A = this chain, B = another copy of it.
């Protein structure tokens, strides 16, 4: 994906028809606040993880209606001439605040707050939701896997089980949430995620024998490589691996069968062969629960694919982007008035919000506090919203490593019950003031 390609058509048709209607009525220029939040966490999760901020800011920079985009909209009669003129001139000039990427969030946490004219804020809805719903779903699942894995490294290898560009975003989100490496090369290039990978069964099957394959891999990649030992017979493969590589072999990988049993036998066999430093890596339909179950097995690393890129049962986290306040007039000093839909089943809370995380005196988070006014900072609280865009200028861009560090700190701060794998209550109450 070229760096300068426009992101503007990654947008629902109705955002632009709403824009057209609002330009017609004159309300398009009303100062408005949209907020992104989740009404609930999926799958009985105890916390969610904000991810996608860095990608959203990149895409916001490329949210421009150039001639290619305008021609499409014009040729297909999506909007009228007046709206096309507005889009041609569009540059986001408002303000955006958000939870830092990698932060934990809870139901009602205002993880993104966009203040701009209605016109400027409404057309960002689809792109913002696409990015945060996907990336936060992956990061929320990945974070639990990282908790389950403890100090053992996690390898992201799910590219083949999700759309090819979603795979790049998933690799990035997993890294933010604690994975060590990814198989995805584009995630390496675009986002600086460390990549790794050695060989599949096809490599063994291609050669005349498993020994031939091992020999080729070791000669070409060095003794530190990881040999895949379950193509035919694991015990024989491990014996051959150490015969050919010597006791400095980096690692062996097991991809099928009863991973705990295999890992135990392979560890014993490696130790008996003197390969006491050779690591045992397991892969194959792992998720946070099977990783946790393998905690007692002699495993040195986990490769996770499908369950990671599909959010382990929650491929989206149902974030919504709602108009919560707008000025009734066009004067920039007209006060913002709270607005909220009143239909059944989907409660919304009107009005602009601010959030603090409250900590006890040991530094453990105890509550998510959400205010309808800017609260005075006090000891034992941490303000959650930070400036991302000021007057149209992006001020909150950071690299993926900073988000990863923030995530680790955010998880360390959570109460112990947040880290349980079972379904349960949300770890922190959200208190509205």
Contacts and interface: CB of A to CB of B under 8 A. Distances in A.
Contact of A24 (B17, B130, B220, B316): B220
A197 interface: yes
A156 B115 CA distance: 29
A332 interface: no
A201 interface: yes
A150 B232 CA distance: 49
A350 to B, nearest CB: 9
Contacts of A20: 220-221
B162 A343 contact: no
Contacts of A257: 343-345
Contact of A220 (B21, B166, B198, B323): B21
A202 B123 CA distance: 11
A62 B258 CA distance: 40
Number of copies: 2
Given A118-B206, A157-B12, A216 B24 contact: yes
Given A21-B221, A27-B207, A231-B343, A5 B7 contact: no
A25 B213 CA distance: 8
A189 B72 contact: yes
Given A160-B129, A207-B25, A343 B11 contact: no
A95 to B, nearest CB: 18
A162 B185 contact: no
A186 interface: yes
A1 interface: yes
A2 to B, nearest CB: 4
Contact of A22 (B12, B15, B122, B206): B206
Contacts of A206: 22, 27, 30, 32, 118, 323, 326, 339
A340 interface: yes
A34 interface: yes
Interface in A1-31: 1-2, 4-5, 7, 9-18, 20-25, 27, 30
A164 interface: yes
A318 B345 contact: no
A310 B56 CA distance: 21
B185 A159 contact: no
A99 B219 CA distance: 40
A163 B163 contact: yes
Interface string A253-266: 00111100000000
Contact of A217 (B21, B72, B220): B21
A306 B309 CA distance: 16
Given A20-B220, A59-B164, A201-B323, 16 more contacts: A9-B189, A11-B185, A13-B185, A18-B202, A21-B213, A21-B220, A24-B216, A25-B212, A68-B189, A72-B189, A130-B167, A161-B316, A166-B166, A201-B343, A205-B339, A256-B344
17 contacts: A9-B188, A12-B184, A12-B185, A13-B197, A14-B198, A18-B198, A21-B221, A25-B213, A73-B185, A76-B195, A125-B160, A127-B164, A129-B159, A129-B160, A162-B163, A208-B328, A310-B316
